[in-house]
Amino acid sequence: MEKIKLSETLQKVREVNPLVHNITNVVVTNFTANGLLALGASPVMANAVEEAADMAQIASSLVLNIGTLNSQTVEAMILAGKAANEHDIPVIFDPVGAGATRYRTETAQKIMKEVNVSVIRGNGAEIANVVGEDWEIKGVDAGDAKGNLLDLAITAAQKLNCVVVVTGKEDVVSDGETTYTIANGHPILTKVTGTGCLLTSVIGAFAGVEKDLLTSSVAALSYYGIAAEQAARKTAELGPGSFQIEFLNQLSLVSTEEIKLYASFKKINGG
Ligand code: ATP
Ligand code: TZP
Ligand code: MG
Ligand code: MG
């Protein structure tokens, strides 16, 4: 994969202004909408069972997030997911907190079974629990359990038959055959709630304009990580509050040139 392709994909998002339909959690809704706008996408949140399918079919991509799940939103997610599948619209899934409670784990597995998910994105523990491995998770945070994220992404992609993005200090993207690691990012991202959820929606925006989901995901991850690096540099003496605001600024300011300069990713041999 060439850096130029990643920067062209960012350019395309900004030109196309894809409509991203999010059925997401109550913690991150506003941050997600603002982050997508800063990127140059067009967010819409539509949770009602009565309209979820109609909204999904006019979107460029659908993002499902079980962060504050309940039986109604889960029903809406499945209706929207099926409508997206019928219209060949990519579905991106964030299994927030899978492994923390039986309801979350079983719901994540049910969504994977009933909806043809294009990309699943989570921390290591969430992805492991979706594929039936019992990694420890602390609520919605990955916690200290450290398995091998590279192996996890590859085996999960093979089992789930979709692109898997596992995030952490280093991010991994795999379709089960081809695998990339992305080093961009900053630890302060873990001190702002919703940075994983917004990332999943950003992956949705990129998937809405680029059909090759490995390319779109690597482009989204490097763009997002570079925005965080710039924001952390500008707010170095300050705390997570200032970082959060500057991060939104940088999501709109990161240029295609900066993607070419700073994207840091590797293709894994044999992966
Ligand atoms: P968790 O709740 O465990 O934090 P999450 O769903 O919020 O999970 P993260 O894994 O934190 O998602 O990923 C969100 C973003 O933060 C990604 O871009 C990832 O690369 C980045 N990130 C997470 N941890 C680090 C770290 N230690 N160093 C650099 N970047 C990180
Ligand atoms: N509780 C339920 S959803 C949520 C919290 C704190 C937000 C999680 O956001 P992220 O992006 O996984 O850190
Ligand atoms: Mg986080
Ligand atoms: Mg998360």
Residues 21-57 pLDDT 10s: 999 999 999 999 999 999 999 999 999 999 999 999 9
Looking at the predicted structure, is the pLDDT value of residue 140 above 90?
no
Q: 225 CB under 6 A from ligand 1?
A: yes
Q: What is the pLDDT of residue 139?
A: 84
| Per-residue pLDDT tens over the stretch 220-262 | 999 999 999 999 999 999 999 999 999 999 999 999 999 999 9
**Ligand 2 first shell, C-beta below 6 A:** 25, 27-28, 67-68, 96, 140, 193-197
Q: Which residues contact 12 (CB under 8 A, 6 or more apart)?
A: 209, 210
Q: 192 CB under 6 A from ligand 1?
A: no
If you ran DSSP here, which 8-state letter would residue 162 be given?
A: S
Higher pLDDT, 270 or 184: 184
Separation of first and last alpha carbons in the chain: 14
Residue 133 binned pLDDT confidence (cut-offs 50, 70, 90) = very high
Q: What is the pLDDT of residue 254?
A: 98
Q: What is the pLDDT of residue 146?
A: 67
Looking at the predicted structure, is the pLDDT value of residue 145 above 70?
no
Query: Are 159 and 119 contacting, i.e. CB atoms less than 8 angstroms apart?
Result: no
Looking at the predicted structure, is the pLDDT value of residue 271 above 60?
no
What's the Rg (C-alpha) of the chain? Answer: 17
Q: Which residues contact 230 (CB under 8 A, 6 or more apart)?
A: 250, 253, 254, 258
Q: What is the pLDDT of residue 50?
A: 98
Q: What is the pLDDT of residue 270?
A: 63
Q: Which of 63, 140, 167, 247 to mutate to test the pocket of ligand 2 (most atoms within 8 A of CB)?
A: 140
Q: What is the pTM of this model?
A: 0.98
Kindly provide the b/e burial profile for residues 210-245, where b requires at least 16 CB atoms within 10 angstroms of the residue's own CB: beebbbbbbbbbbbbbbbbbbbbeebeeeeeeebbe
Q: What is the pLDDT of residue 14?
A: 98
Q: What is the pLDDT of residue 144?
A: 66
